[in-house]
Structures are given as C-alpha cells and as structure tokens.
Amino acid sequence: MYTEKVMDHFTNPRNVGELADANAIGEVGNMKCGDIMKLYLKISDDGVIEDVKFKTFGCGAAIATSSMSTELIKGKTVEECLKLTNNAIAEALDGLPPVKMHCSVLAEDALKSALLDYQKKTGKDLSISEADLNNDHDHDHDEADEE
Amino acid sequence: MLGRGSLSMKKIYLDHGATTPVSSEVLDAMIDIYKQEAGNPSSVHQFGRSAKKHLEAARVKVANAIGADPKEIIFTGSGTEADNMAVIGTARLKAKQGKGKHIITSSIEHHAVLDTCKALAKEGFEITYLPVDEFGVVSAADVREALRPDTILVTIMHANNEVGTIQPIAEIGQILKEHQAVFHTDAVQTVGKVPVDVNELQVDMLTVSAHKIYGPKGVGALYMRKGIRIEPLMYGGGQERKIRPSTENLAGIVGFAVAIEKAVEELAVEKQRLETLRDKLIDDILQTIPETKLNGHPTERLPHNANVSFEYIEGESLILSLDMKGIAVSSGSACTSGSLDPSHVLMAMGLSHQTAHGSLRMTLGKATTEEDIDYVVSVLKDVAARLREMSPVWEQRNK
C-alpha cells in the first residue's frame, strides 16, 4: 500500500522533535480525523529556514509526509517554502494512496500555518492569510462516508 | 546461541479475528473431495449421488456443532451472504405478507448486517439501531422497549468482532418468544470459540462462517429454524431448498464441516488456553505500558480477543511498526477502517476520538504461545514509547 520511501520516512523520520529556539510554530489537524501535525521552524533574519523539527500524531502517511516536508524546506527561503504544494510532497515520497492524499495537504498546511505565525510575529509581509490554509481536515465526514 | 533461525524475522499472527489459516485436516479433506468427487450433487448418476452423500454428511456435522437439525442448515458462500439472506430475505417476505416493516438491530453490528439494514431503510423499512453501554453490551431491556407490533426482525450479533463483547442473546431470545419478530444472530465470531446452541440461545436464524475457524474462505451457513421462511436473494436452481441456488461448493463445504467439528471437539480445552493467554496479554500491556485501556467487556468477551487503546498514538502507525517486527494485528482507527471515521463500534461505546484512533485488536489462535505474548508486549513497549516521542499530543500531556 505504501511506497518504500513512505516506509523509510515512517521508520526513520527526519527531524523529529521540538525546537527550543523556534521563531515560527504551526499546528494543524484535529483528533476527529486522527492527524495532528506540529511544525517548528527557525528562520534566519534573511528568511532562510535554518532548522526545522516536527511532531506528528497520525498514520504512517501523516508521519512520512511530515518528515519529507521538513527535508524539502530545510535551507530553503520562506518564498520558496510558500510554493511547496501537497502534490510535491506526495511526489517526493513516490506517491501516496488516494485515501492518504489528505496527509500531504495537512503537511502543506502545517508549513503555511508556521509561516503565518512567522508573519504575525515578525510583521514581515509574506502575503499569506488564514484563507490560504486548505482546512481539508475539517471535511464533512458523513458526506465522505457516503461515497 | 546465535543460530540461523534467530536472524530470520519472527512471524506472529494475532489477527485470527480477520481470518484463520486453513488447518491441515481441513485441507486434506478438501483435497480428497477435489480428487475423488467429480459429480454435481444434483445429478442422478453415481457421481452425483456420491457427491450428495458428502454434502449431506457435512450438513449433519455443521448442524450437530450448533445443536440444530440438518434440515435447518443452508450452505452459503460466506457469513456476509448468510447475514444478507437473513436480513433482506426476512424483510421482503414479511413486508409482502403485510406483517410490518420495522427492524431492530444494534449500533455495533458487523457491516454485513449494518449496511444491509441501511440499504433496506432506503427501500422504506424502518430501522431501530440500539445503543450499547461502555463495554459494548446491548441491553435486552432495550430490545423489549423497542419492540412494536410491526417489528418483523431483530438482528443482534452474538459477539462483536472488534471488541469481543458477548451479547445476552438467550435473554433477548426469551423476550422475543411471544413476538412475531424473527430473531437472527450473527455468530461468525463465536461458533467454535464459545459454546453455541441454537435452542439455548432461542434464535430463529444464525450465521456461521468457515474461515474464522481454520476452514476455507468462501463458505458459510445460515441456520434457519424449522418453520422459518425467507425470500431468496437469488434464483436459478433447487439447491439448498431453493433458498440458495448454485451448484454447491462441495470441497469448501466438506472443509467447513471438518473445521467446525474439530473446533467444537477442542473447544473446552482451547477456550481455556486462549483465555489464559488473552488475560496475560491484556494484563501485561495494562501493567507495563502507561495510558492504555481495555476496550470491551472484562469478562463477557471472546476467549481470543484483546482490544486495547494506546492513548496519544494513532492505530495505523502502531500496526505498521508491529508489522516491521513480524507481528500482525488490526485497529479500529480511521486510517485502517477505509473511511475517515474511526470504528463505529468504538464510537458507539462512547470512546473519545483519540482513544478510538489508538485502538489495537489482537486476536489469538491455535498457534499462539506464551512466548509470543511476551515478545508482542516487549515490542509494544518500545513501539509505543517511540511513537509517543513523536506525538505532539503526548508532548502536551507531559507539560
């Protein structure tokens, strides 16, 4: 069901933990869906992701997408991070099962939520807002069940 | 000693609630049929007569195992099919006879019953889904209260497949004695595991499946008490009293009969052995891993079922981690249920989303040893610690 890359990132997740000197923190997801992702970023004055850590409660795909997204953003600029899509995260893992694509959306949102926090804290204008979060995790369960 | 064997990965199968391996006696009996019986049991010639003899001998064995008369056994293609026949077949017949359109079931049934009831609701039947208590028990008093003059069917499972809770079927059967409603129970999880007697349980219909008791996949049976009628779901032949036409899966049916006979023969000893191992597994987990909780009833449960929730951990990541250590289990988390919601059984029992997502079902079997249990618990300890280290909810709890 999962690709080797997903299993690799699930078994040996990169950058797990907390960052004491994080200057941007994002947390998304909820217990109803069973996925919660928390992302810690340390962003330099010139807008480069110097360090990143994550903690995730969730399934194999949730842990693997969190891990992969930290690898993809480390050393990148804030502007580059804003362009990271859920599809790019899924592709970097050689794909996800269709029912698990929402995990990649969650990873993208965790990043955006952290950058939003950064924007708030520093006053720098990254031109993002709450509306940029996909909020896919609040999908209507009953409706999805009927499919 | 570091022999070759110690380097190969352990394989511990604790998912007997999902399915069991075919036993060698069953397989041998099936191979004999495939090799020696070419005939169709419906044929008049000697080939047909010989096949028919095996078919009827199998029917006697299955009937004996549940205290029924052979005439009351209808072979089906699965437990799910038997459930569908019982529920839809009764509903359609009773509605046609003008007896009513009300059905009572529970909120923790297997989907073979639950989804069938939902489908009937779309056809105009009215379904009452009874709640369960925190242990997953349906109350017989609730059944009595839900009964109406137009109730045509009550279908409550004998034991729940996820949490293992055994239901008060005999008590419900007693209540229904004086009512027109037909009483069906899905006994797929109990036959061969705990004593099942259709007269003691006072049921009109009962579902059995072969592959949960070391028999083959693709065979089941519906017990139908003498005098009980249903509308068939299929047409096309006179087999199984026209209730379930199709050329019989003779090898499968014979394998089923061998499996059920053996299971009942070994029941008393195996039940006790499994209960001892199950209790050790449950106690060891609850005592050595913090924030764990037993789901289901502490005593009124299937002898081979342990269902435990690990707080602050999601079930699928537990399954994957155990799988990498050679241990096969299942979970009621959303990620493993194939939908976006956690198990309907755990939710009906009032568990929080977090507790439901962290549930793990371990179902023991013939090959399970005490050594296996020790290994599983030690792996669980490591895996739970590792996943909690990664969990933001665990982090929050510790602050």
pLDDT digits (tens, 9 = 90+) for A35-86: 999 999 999 999 999 999 999 999 999 999 999 999 999 999 999 999 999 9
pLDDT digits (tens, 9 = 90+) for B53-65: 999 999 999 999 9
Strands B305-310 and B359-363: antiparallel
B324 contacts in chain A (CB < 8 Å): 11
Name the strands in the sheet holding A24-30, side by side, starting at the edge strand that comes first in the sequence: A24-30, A35-43, A49-57
Q: Is the pLDDT reported for residue A144 higher than 80?
A: no
Residue B249 burial (CB count, 10 A): 18
Instruction: Write down the pTM of the prediction.
Output: 0.93
Q: Catalytic pick from B335, B347, B377, B393?
A: B335
Q: Is the pLDDT reported for residue B4 higher than 50?
A: no
Any idea where the domains of chain B sit in the sequence?
12-21+267-397, 24-262
pLDDT digits (tens, 9 = 90+) for A85-99: 999 999 999 999 998
A96 contacts in chain B (CB < 8 Å): none
Which residue from B minimizes the CA distance to A32? Answer: B353
Supply the Cα-derived Rg of chain A in whole angstroms. 15
What is the pLDDT of chain B when averaged over all its residues?
95
Per-residue confidence at A125, pLDDT binned at 50, 70, 90? confident
What is the pLDDT of chain A when averaged over all its residues?
89
Residues of chain A with a CB closer than 8 angstroms to some CB in chain B: 2, 7, 10-11, 13, 16, 18, 27, 31-38, 55-63, 99-100, 139, 141, 144-145
Question: So what's the pLDDT on residue A34?
Answer: 87
Domain B24-262: state its class. Answer: alpha beta
Question: So what's the pLDDT on residue A132?
Answer: 83
Yes or no, beta carbons of B333 and A139 under 8 Å apart: no
Give the separation between CA A130 and CA A91, rounded to whole angstroms.
Answer: 25
DSSP state at residue B378 = H
Q: Is the dihedral of CA B95, B97, B102, B107 positive or negative?
A: negative
Question: So what's the pLDDT on residue A142?
Answer: 38
Q: Is the pLDDT reported for residue A137 higher than 90?
A: no
Interface test with B, best of A16, A59, A65 (most B CBs within 10 A): A59
User: Catalytic annotation on B117?
Assistant: no
Tell me whether domains B12-21+267-397 and B24-262 share a fold: no
DSSP state at residue A132 = G
pLDDT digits (tens, 9 = 90+) for B356-387: 999 999 999 999 999 999 999 999 999 999 99
Joined tokens for residue B174:
């007693």
Fold of B12-21+267-397: Aspartate Aminotransferase, domain 1 (3.90.1150)
Question: So what's the pLDDT on residue A128?
Answer: 86
Per-residue confidence at A127, pLDDT binned at 50, 70, 90? confident
Yes or no, beta carbons of A58 and B317 under 8 Å apart: yes
Question: So what's the pLDDT on residue B182?
Answer: 98
Name which of B200, B196, B227 is nearest B90 in CA terms: B227
Per-residue confidence at A141, pLDDT binned at 50, 70, 90? very low
- The complex's ipTM works out to 0.89
Q: How far is CA B253 from the centre of its chain?
A: 18
